Structures are given as structure tokens and as C-alpha cells.
Chains A and B, each alone.
Chain A
Amino acid sequence: MDFELSSEQTLLKDSVDRFVKDNYELAARRALVASDLGFSKDNWDLFAEMGWLGLPFSEESGGYGGSNVDVSILMESFGEGLVVEPYMATVLLGGRLVEMAGTADQKETILAAVIEGKMQLAFGYSEPQSRFDLFDVTTTATASGDGYVLNGHKGLVYHAGSADKIIVTARSPGGQRDKAGISLFIVDANTKGLSLKSYRTLDGQRASEVILDGVEVGRDAMLGAEGQAFPIVEKVTDLAIGAASAEAVGAMRRVNQMTIEYVKTRQQFGSPIGSNQVIKHRLADMLIEEEQSKAMSDMAAMRADMAKETRSDDQVQTASATKARIGEAAKFVGEQGIQLHGGIGMTDEYAIGHYYKRLQTIDKLFGNVDYHLRRFSDAR
């Protein structure tokens, strides 16, 4: 394994860092979060221009053939800035599903538009009862005429409100918790029978409850083979876990930087609070958590890049181990960041609390610590 960044990767990192520095001051981010859209269309155009929207897709798919390590570099920097653009939803979930399961036609129409920044996607993989189990699906797909009718409720679909197309899991045959019988459908956002209840999540992102009430779609809306979508969904979310973990690493890094800065500045009893041994030691613990997380996140990305040589249960274990470790670390670093800031850390005005909220959310995204510990131990 090579831990040094290549010159291309260094360029990528420098450009994302510059973007974050120029566009993600806390005040600018606050304005984006408060805006109707919840993110910046200009930023999105810039992502397209920089090639980031095509980063993980193969050259045959019109992308730039970037590796998972490349994606992690991007996501770490996004994490440092708490970037709110729907990169995960559109590129790492929706886009990857299309690339992995789509027909040539689907790839051509959808991926090309995604890479150009002209189309956004969302992925509805969870339901109110499903908790973190991706295979717990009650949304139904009933064959009808030349296509299917979809009925059901997809919960917490990130960025569905701004998406042009929403990809959902739906069940044709089988019981609620069977891994077989799950299919993927691409539904246009303006399809009749599709309605959204949108809201802002605690970390300033956007999400929706997506209700499918007799939504009619054509046969060409199906993504991949009928009833066989689960392994693809699992693969894509495991890769997304790697990316979310990298984002968390970036967020933790910023928390530690900000907190170190704060304890050097804040005076009590005539000296900076950072001169207290317990504060120094706590920060040392926080740094260790960050470094462990960075190591896990790098491992997840590198193993994903060697996927052809890796057994599938190894991949499951790698994703779950990474997510469990990073979930613990994210909560610890976020909480301690606030704790060391004291009362001021509780205010909306200070950045630290916003990082804490994002780190808390990442812990819950695609399954929390307990869920992934169990998934790890069940994997073989």
C-alpha cells in the first residue's frame, strides 16, 4: 500500500481544499443551509467544471476513472468544510447504482447528464420500519401492462427534493425481509403519484419522505435485473460508507484544529486553558481517534480499489469495521470538541457545534456503531 499522494491526487486535494477555503466560511455555509435549495447551484456547476462529478466513474461511462482513494481525498476536504452539496446522493449513490446496474442506454442518458452537472439523483433505500436493514423493503412493484406500479413509503431520502430522478428499492416477490426479490427503479421526480414531504435534517442537509402512490413506470425504469438488486445496493452503500468515513475524518480534523486553537486562546486563572494537563491529554486522545479513523478510512478505500482480489465478506467486514470505529471516534471527538469549548461550544454562532451535528449524523448514516459491530461479527 502506498500512502503517499500521487501528483494528480495532490492536485485534486489542493483544488478541493481551495474550494472549501473560498466558499465554506461558516457564514457562507449558514446562508446556503438557510436558502430554499439548501445548497449552491454555482458550487454544483463548479464541481462539474472541476470534473468532480465524474470522478468515480470509469472512462467507458464518460467519467474520469478515479479510484476510491481519490473519492476519499475529495470527501475528506468536503468534511473539513461541512459541504452541503448533494455529492453523496447524486454521484456516490445514484450515479454508482446506474453505473453498476444500468443498461448502456441508462448509463448514456443519466451518467452523462450527472457528470455535466445537469442532473441530480437521490436514492431511497430506507423505510420507516426498516431501521438500517437495506433488505427490509415493503414498497411494492407490481407488473402492469408494459411496466410496473410502485406503492410505498421511502424515508429519509437525502436530497430527493432537488433530485431530477429518484432511485428506489421495491419488492416484487418475497417477504418483507428477504434479500431476494428486491429491484431498483428510476422514477422521474415529476411522475404522477410521487409526492415528497421535505425537511432539513439536524446537520443542515435536506431530505424527504417519498410517498409512492400508484406510481406507473415503464419497463425501462428498472435498473438491473428484476429481484436481484440487493447485492448491488449493498455494494454501493458499502462504498458510500468508505466515502462518509473519509468525510468524518475531515470533520474530525477540523474539530481538532479549532479546539487546539481555542484552548490556546481562552484564558482562565491567568493562563490559557490549554496549559492544563487534562486538556492537553484530552486533545491527545482526540488526535489519536482522528488518526485511527484516518487509517481505517484509508484502508476501506484501498481495499475497495483492490476489490477484485477481495472476498465479498472481507468487503462487508472492512466497511463495517470502518463504520463502527469511525462512529465511535466521531462521537468522541465531536463531544470533546464541544466540552473543551465550554458553554460557547453550545452556541450556533460557533462552528464546533455544526461539526458535532454532522459527525453525529454520519454515525447514523447507513447504520450506527452497534449495527456495524453486529454486521461485522455476522459476516462469516
Chain B
Amino acid sequence: MERVLTENLRVVREGVQAVCNNFGDDYWLARDTDGVFPHEFHGAMAEAGWLGITMPEEFGGAGLGVAEAAVMMNTVAACGAMTAASSIHINMFGPHPILIFGTEEQKQKHIPPLVRGDAKVSFGVTEPNVGLDTTNITTFAKKVDGGYIVDGRKIWNSTAQQATKIMLLARTQKREENKDPTKGISIFYTDFDREKIEVQLIHKMGRKAVDSNMIFFDNLFIPDEDLIGEEGMGFRYILHAMNPERVLVGAEGVGIGQDALQRASKYALEREVFGRPIGMNQGIQHPLAENWMELEAAWLMCLKGAELFDNEQPCGAEANAAKFLGAKAGYNAAMQAVMTHGGMGYAKEYHVERLMREVMITRIAPVSEQLIASFIAERVLGLPKSY
């Protein structure tokens, strides 16, 4: 864990923090109330060059690794919770299929606008009735002259209300037509054509300002040049970005928890009942101390996953563990922060109820805790598959 205190990571944290300092509690509470996408924050991060932190320098990025991205997203989440994190999260590793499997032309065309913040992309992976059993998707891209025609629907598409691009996973061959269900799925990166894509907003518990949607494709035409990599190999391409994503979600959960914990500690010190600060009660201070330990341990796991990935080592177990532990530690801290505030924890004015609502998603997405436990049981412990 020699990287914990490296100069590089310190510089990233300070740099990101400098941008975050311009966006205080009032800004994020306003977004939580009005549901307007945090354009100002997104723009400021783009302007300061952070959106391209993991993209190669030749495309305008900084060419840094997952560890730096984890520090960045941890800092961002500690500022504006998931609303801040999700507004830029997709930029971190979302474009990786293009970067790794795309043609030179595709890279030149698509990556710089993402780095500059001009292009906003929505991901279309899961579908109603599919959950995490991704190979069961049925959205179909039918081959036609010069391209494909897409019909079907997707769910939980983030930022589809403002997206100019969509990274879409669709079947180009029916599941039953191939022995290997992971084959016959392709990835496209194409214009978000609102003539052909209907977007329905999903109202939800937290992260109100970063929209989640159900989307419907009706004869969407995608030109051949927007197919990424080889037709039918898309499932493998998306796997590539999953481990970094899990590390980042873990880091975001930790960030929200750290923010909540800091607020709770401050409140416990200031609030006096029975003639002394409530933080003098073991019933108040011990749970908060445990939250700190959980958050620190989860953070180390995030860095371990990141470090393995950055050194091109297998990191599936560690990345999954990072997301599992980071989300739980963040959730526990946010919940405890609400309880520490008592009645005031329920008031929006104190922000911790918002953090509790915001952190919940990290426990659910992008993969459930149960599936992570099954993965560890099978791949690390060598136990038989249970489902």
C-alpha cells in the first residue's frame, strides 16, 4: 500500500478539491430539490481537465490510472455525493471499449469531445427483466445495408435526458442461435437520435439531478462506422471496464461516508444535551469510530483493486470487494450520521439525510452484494456456483 500517500495522488486530491470548493452544500441541496443536472459542476470539471483523467494524452486526457481516478471520484463524492459523482463518472471508464477496441478513426472522432465535456454519453446495457443476467438482453440490431436498425428497450440509462451519444449494447444474433450466450452481442457508440429514441424519466430516491431513465428504440438506424470492434464480441468488451467501475463506485461510497462522518462528528461535538456534548456518550462516539475504521479499510481495498488494475494484474475479486465494502461502509456511516443528528438528521438543512439517500445506490449498482458474494465464493474460494 505504498501508494496511499504518493505525491501523484495528493496532487489529484488537491486539484479536484480546488474545483469542488466552489460547489458548496447549498448548490447540491438545490440540485436535489430542482433536479436540474449540475451543468456548472460538470463544466468546471471539464474546464479544469479532470474529465479526461484516464484518457491517453494524445486525445487530450491525462493518461492516469484507476488509482488516480479513484482518488478523484472519492473527492468528488465527498463534495456532492452521487449527484456530483454520476455527472462525470461515465467519463472515467465508459469510453474504454472505444479506446481499446475502436479504430484509430473512432478514437480521434469520439474521445476528445468526451474529454472536453462537449459530448455527453448515456450507457444502455441492462433491460427490464434482465437485471445482471446480461446475456439475456433482447434489444436487437438488425443488419441492413450500410448499418443496423435497432428495436427494443433499455432501463436505468443515466443522463439520457441530456446525452448526445449513446453507448449501446444490443444483440446482433439471437441468444438461442449461438451455443455461447456471451456471443452475438455488439457494442455501438452512436448519436442519441431523439426522433427514434423515446426517453422516460424514472423518479427515484436519490441522485435526483442525474436522471435515470427507461428508453425505447423505434427503428433507430446506426451506421456501420459506429460499431465498436468486431460484431458479436461486445459482451467481452464491456467486461473490460467493469472492474475499474467497481473500484470507483467503492471509492464514491467511501467518499459519501467520509463526508457524512465528518458532519456527524462535528454535530456530536457541538450539540449539547444534559449539559454536555452528545459526543461524550459512548453510544454516540463508538459507532462513529467504527464507521471511520470501516471507511478506512474499504478505502484501502479500493486502492488495492486500483493498483492491481493499473499494474495489469487480475483484480476481479479486489475490485468487487472494493465496491462491496465501500458501499456498505458509506451506507453505514451515512445512516449513523442521520441517527447522530437525531431529529435534525431528518431535516434537509443538515444534509445527512440527502447523503443517506444518495449513498444507497452504491449498494445496489452496478452489481448487487449477493452477486459479489457469489463471485468471491466461486472464483476465490473455489466453491460451486449456486445459481
Contact = CB atoms under 8 A, between A and B. Distances in A.
Contacts of A281: 282-283
A278 interface: yes
A280 to B, nearest CB: 9
A190 interface: no
A278 B289 CA distance: 13
A276 B286 CA distance: 12
Interface in B276-325: 281-283, 286
Interface in B205-247: none
A277 interface: yes
Contacts of A276: 282
Contacts of B281: 277
Contacts of A277: 281-283
- Residue of A276, A277, A281 ringed by the most chain B CB atoms within 10 A: A277
A277 B285 CA distance: 11
A356 B146 CA distance: 75
A78 to B, nearest CB: 36
Interface string A275-286: 011100100000
Contacts of B283: 277-278, 281
A278 B281 CA distance: 9
Interface in A263-310: 276-278, 281
Interface residues of A, number: 4
Nearest to B281: A277
Interface string A82-97: 0000000000000000
Chain A's interface: helix, strand, loop or mixed, by majority?
helix
Contacts of A278: 282-283, 286
Contacts of B286: 278
A209 to B, nearest CB: 32
Contacts, number: 9
A219 to B, nearest CB: 49
Nearest to A276: B282
A277 B282 CA distance: 6
Nearest to A278: B282
Nearest to A279: B282
A187 B181 CA distance: 62
A276 B280 CA distance: 11
A284 to B, nearest CB: 10
A176 to B, nearest CB: 24
A277 B286 CA distance: 10
A185 to B, nearest CB: 40
Nearest to B280: A277
A315 B224 CA distance: 68
A182 to B, nearest CB: 33
A281 B282 CA distance: 10
A230 to B, nearest CB: 31
A276 B281 CA distance: 9
Interface string A319-359: 00000000000000000000000000000000000000000
A277 B284 CA distance: 10
Interface in A233-277: 276-277
A278 B286 CA distance: 8
Nearest to A281: B283
A278 B282 CA distance: 6
Contacts of B282: 276-278, 281
Interface string B258-286: 00000000000000000000000111001
B282 to A, nearest CB: 4
B277 to A, nearest CB: 14
A277 B280 CA distance: 10
Nearest to B282: A277
B287 to A, nearest CB: 10
A288 to B, nearest CB: 15
Nearest to B287: A278
Interface in B243-259: none
Nearest to B286: A278
B279 to A, nearest CB: 12
A276 B282 CA distance: 7
A278 B283 CA distance: 6
Nearest to B283: A277
A293 B208 CA distance: 44
Nearest to A277: B282
Interface string B3-24: 0000000000000000000000
A75 B282 CA distance: 38
B63 to A, nearest CB: 49
B80 to A, nearest CB: 35
A276 to B, nearest CB: 6
Interface in B50-91: none
A82 to B, nearest CB: 33
A281 B286 CA distance: 12
A180 B283 CA distance: 55
Nearest to B284: A277
A298 B283 CA distance: 33
A285 to B, nearest CB: 12
A276 B285 CA distance: 12
B296 to A, nearest CB: 21
A376 to B, nearest CB: 22
B248 to A, nearest CB: 36
A128 B41 CA distance: 67
Interface string A53-75: 00000000000000000000000
A281 B284 CA distance: 12
A281 B283 CA distance: 8
A43 to B, nearest CB: 45
B290 to A, nearest CB: 11
A19 B282 CA distance: 42
Interface string A190-214: 0000000000000000000000000
A71 B156 CA distance: 59
A276 B283 CA distance: 9
A277 B283 CA distance: 6
A336 to B, nearest CB: 15
A277 B281 CA distance: 7
B239 to A, nearest CB: 35
A278 B288 CA distance: 13
B286 to A, nearest CB: 6
A326 B281 CA distance: 31
B237 to A, nearest CB: 42
A2 to B, nearest CB: 38
A175 B282 CA distance: 59
A222 to B, nearest CB: 44
A371 B160 CA distance: 48
Given A276-B282, A277-B283, 6 more contacts: A277-B281, A277-B282, A278-B282, A278-B283, A278-B286, A281-B282
9 contacts: A276-B282, A277-B281, A277-B282, A277-B283, A278-B282, A278-B283, A278-B286, A281-B282, A281-B283
Interface of A: 276-278, 281
Shortest Cβ-Cβ A-B pairs, 8 listed: A277-B282, A278-B282, A277-B283, A277-B281, A278-B286, A281-B283, A276-B282, A278-B283
